[in-house]
Amino acid sequence: MPKGYVIARITVTDPEQYAVYARLATEAIRKYGGRPLVRGGRCEHVEGDGRPRNVVIEFESFDRALAYYHSPEYQAAKKERETAGVGEFVVVEGAE
């Protein structure tokens, strides 16, 4: 079964509030069996519009990644993020 991935590209506008979000999101990631592959770090925008923070989280399946994103735990974290930055999030299925 292919794995599922949550991919986020974020511009943080309030680092203190974002830290609250990150703490809550990390708890939800653990609960749903996610494994962060990329969490910030150095990046270079080689094409298109970029964002300074990029995150990739691996889950056992696409459905599990969606369950994480729609979970009450992550939705509580998301509320904290809404005033801490702007970004795009996508859930994708990996290759078999």
| Token pair listed for 38 | 């990329």
Q: How far apart are CA 40 and CA 43, in angstroms?
A: 8
> For 6-52, how does the pLDDT look when each residue is reduced to its tens digit (9 = 90+)?
999 999 999 999 999 999 999 999 999 999 999 988 999 999 989 99
Is residue 35 within 8 Å of residue 58, measured between CB atoms?
A: yes
pTM to 2 decimals? 0.93
Residue 81 dihedral angles phi and psi, to the nearest 5°: -75, -30
Q: How far apart are CA 91 and CA 58, in angstroms?
A: 10
Query: Which domains are delineated in the chain?
Result: 4-93 (3.30.70.100)
Is residue 10 within 8 Å of residue 53, measured between CB atoms?
A: yes
